[in-house]
Structure 1
Amino acid sequence: MRAATVPTSVTAVVVAYDSAHALPDCLGALARDGVPAIVVDNASTDGSAEAAARLGAAVIRNGVNEGYGRANNRGVAAATTPFVLIINPDVILDPGAVAALLDAAARYPDAGLLAPMLIEPDGRVFFQPRSLLAPYLRNPAGVEWLPEGDCCAPFLSGAVFLMRRDLFTVLGGFDENIFLFYEDDDLCRRIADAGHALVHVAGAVARHGRGRSSAPAPGRIFRGRWHQAWSRAYVSRKYGLPNPAPAMALKNAVKALGAALLFNRGRMARYGGSAAGAIAALRGVDALDYQGILDRRKGF
């Protein structure tokens, strides 16, 4: 009975950016359980859109890389089912995971977001119930502990989760001012502020190939760390938290200089990107303008 209810009640939304290598396993697992998928391609150059179409997914092609949150919002807008499953292309669901999430949604009607148990490549379970935006049950030390069953949490990873489509829409989806990073923290905070629970569902299992969503490319580490620093400063400002940008800029600039003296290019890219993103936030640079995205975006 479970398998019969899945295709009519949920649509998966997968954002791809040079993800052709990861899509077959991700989409194959969804197809096995009868879950239709919409792939939103962020101007990939590796044939991701064509691969997704061959694998039976509906494809939305963005002319430019619009970022993770904006692309997911576009995919959800195209869905018509009561539920949407946001899933990264490097996540593979175990058989029955979607049905288990839907069963949990029926058991917990106050749940705003439901996420499966996420297993990392080394076999560890990712469960760190903390976020700088969490309004309750703060865990600043990041102590890892695993629940023995379903539980509520102040933060759940955006790598894969189930939501009612109408709630996602009412809340405005992902914040479109963010290009990359902290979109899930922000969404979790708004779900909690709206009075809904974030539920970790132990009976649903997903395998996370962390870092495999996009193929390596020159400059990607620098840009990723730029956005990570910028987005942290942005969400801190949005929720009235202390501005982390000055400390991030100073600390990472010093580390980048040390890496340069040692001719360590990898560390130069990481620390230099973080310093540059923090400085950009201090200067009022917009992350979408940095990416060359010039159309209108949502404010807060």
Structure 2
Amino acid sequence: MNLKYDELTIVVISFKSNENVKNLLSLIRNSTNIIIVENSNDHSLKEYYSKDSNINFLSKDNIGFGPAINVAAKLINTKYFFVLNPDLSKINEDIILDFLKYSKKLKNNFGVLGPRYKNLENDKSLKQSDKNQNIKHIECISGAAMFFLKKSFDSVGGFDENIFLYFEENDICKRLNKKNKKVFQINNIEINHERGNSFIPDNINEIESIKLNSIWHFSWSKFYFLKKHYTYLCAVIIIFPIILRSTFKILIHYLFKNEKNLNKYKYRLSGLINSIVLNKSFKRPEL
């Protein structure tokens, strides 16, 4: 089996994730093509890797996760590319080589491959396939590690740029599966995803701003995804109980003057309402 690292590009999307990016890339061979897209005004990674000819650094305003991958994809000329979150652990050259092996084993008849997340076995928010099957077709893989066949990615137009954050992997996996560019989980490749640890805040206000904006975008993207793939009416029916619960929670926390929880449910409701009335995903953290 002829395996070539020059068939692969690594893509890392950073948002003030300098130390995590450095740790991640230290585990990857220095001859691999790497593209870093920084979704903030911090350019210190560009300076840090200025002497590494295999690393291409791009800086953008905070355009979101999927759109940042699309920016990187326009520069990719390799057969495959591997999107890696900065907060992954237990990634190494052997794992990258294993993905290349499985791509050949599948005879390049796939859209995207993903690993198994060993530390998230009991996490109900992440649906994983039967771990007793090495290769398993699945509806969706986690966006933390996505090994794309570039021509399959291009065939569906990449990520939906209306989505700033959340459900972008659900959307692209659904579109790939519909075009018979199948999504597979490789269960004997195990890594860890330390969720929520990729962003390194400057202060406590940034932490709170990011949390509230994450709630807003999760709600906005959930309705958008449901509307896009299951009709507007179906999305409204599914989301309506969440609107009622959020409204009730807002009233309760307002009466008891619980500002933290009040803001949480305000942002949740705002994200849903803005998506329902077809407003764009405009919310951004105040940093």
**Band the TM-score falls in, shorter-chain normalisation:** 0.7 to 0.9
Contact (CA 8 Å) 1:229, 1:248: kept in 2 or not? no
Task: Give the unaligned 5+ runs of structure 2.
Answer: none
Q: Per the alignment, in what secondary structure is the counterpart of residue 225 of structure 1? A: helix
Deviation at 1:126, TM superposition (A): 6.4
Q: Per the alignment, in what secondary structure is the counterpart of residue 158 of structure 2? A: coil
- The one-character-per-residue Cα deviations of 1:252-273 (angstroms, maximum 9, x if unpaired) are 2322343444554543343222
**Pairing partner for 1:102 from 100, 103, 113:** 100
Question: Partner of 2:211 in structure 1?
Answer: 221
Deviation at 1:238, TM superposition (A): 0.8
Question: Partner of 1:158 in structure 2?
Answer: 143
Contact (CA 8 Å) 1:228, 1:277: kept in 2 or not? yes
Q: Per the alignment, in what secondary structure is the counterpart of residue 207 of structure 1? A: strand
Deviation at 1:162, TM superposition (A): 0.7
Matched, 1:272 2:266: yes
Deviation at 1:149, TM superposition (A): 2.1
Cα distance in 2, alignment partners of residues 211 and 159 from structure 1:
11
Q: Per the alignment, in what secondary structure is the counterpart of residue 67 of structure 2? A: helix
Cα distance in 2, alignment partners of residues 125 and 96 from structure 1:
26
Q: Which moved more, 1:231-240 or 1:195-204?
A: 195-204
Could you say if the C-alpha distance between residues 246 and 144 of structure 1 is closer, same or farther in structure 2, counting changes exceeding 3 Å? same
- The one-character-per-residue Cα deviations of 1:201-235 (angstroms, maximum 9, x if unpaired) are 12323221110121241411111111111111111
Question: Partner of 2:16 in structure 1?
Answer: 18
Percent identity, aligned pairs only, is 22
Cα distance in 1, alignment partners of residues 33 and 129 from structure 2:
34
Contact (CA 8 Å) 1:88, 1:160: kept in 2 or not? yes
Cα distance in 1, alignment partners of residues 49 and 263 from structure 2:
32
Question: Partner of 1:284 in structure 2?
Answer: 278
Q: Which moved more, 1:35-44 or 1:223-232?
A: 35-44
Deviation at 1:72, TM superposition (A): 0.4
Cα distance in 2, alignment partners of residues 147 and 35 from structure 1:
32
Question: Partner of 1:113 in structure 2?
Answer: 112
- The one-character-per-residue Cα deviations of 1:22-56 (angstroms, maximum 9, x if unpaired) are 11121112236x53310011124484544455776
Question: Partner of 1:60 in structure 2?
Answer: 58
- The one-character-per-residue Cα deviations of 1:270-293 (angstroms, maximum 9, x if unpaired) are 322211101111222111x4449x
Cα distance in 2, alignment partners of residues 266 and 233 from structure 1:
24
Q: Which moved more, 1:198-207 or 1:17-26?
A: 198-207
**Pairing partner for 1:69 from 66, 70, 90:** 66
Q: Which moved more, 1:257-266 or 1:268-277?
A: 257-266
Contact (CA 8 Å) 2:29, 2:93: kept in 1 or not? no
Contact (CA 8 Å) 2:28, 2:92: kept in 1 or not? no
Could you say if the C-alpha distance between residues 277 and 148 of structure 1 is closer, same or farther in structure 2, counting changes exceeding 3 Å? same
Cα distance in 2, alignment partners of residues 215 and 258 from structure 1:
33
When normalised by structure 1's length, the TM-score is 0.81
- The one-character-per-residue Cα deviations of 1:53-99 (angstroms, maximum 9, x if unpaired) are 5776310111x100001000011111111100011111131441111
Contact (CA 8 Å) 1:222, 1:272: kept in 2 or not? no
What letter is aligned with 2:75? A
Task: Give the unaligned 5+ runs of structure 1.
Answer: 131-142, 293-300
What letter is aligned with 2:165? L
Cα distance in 2, alignment partners of residues 145 and 128 from structure 1:
16
What letter is aligned with 1:22? N
When normalised by structure 2's length, the TM-score is 0.84
Could you say if the C-alpha distance between residues 272 and 69 of structure 1 is closer, same or farther in structure 2, counting changes exceeding 3 Å? same
Question: Partner of 1:258 in structure 2?
Answer: 252
Could you say if the C-alpha distance between residues 210 and 191 of structure 1 is closer, same or farther in structure 2, counting changes exceeding 3 Å? same
Cα distance in 2, alignment partners of residues 274 and 164 from structure 1:
35
Matched, 1:203 2:188: yes
Q: How does 1:44-55 map to 2 (within 5 A)?
A: 44-45=41-42, 47-51=44-48, 53=50
Q: Which moved more, 1:196-205 or 1:174-183?
A: 196-205
Pairwise CA RMSD? 2.7
Could you say if the C-alpha distance between residues 159 and 187 of structure 1 is closer, same or farther in structure 2, counting changes exceeding 3 Å? same
**Pairing partner for 1:235 from 217, 225, 250:** 225
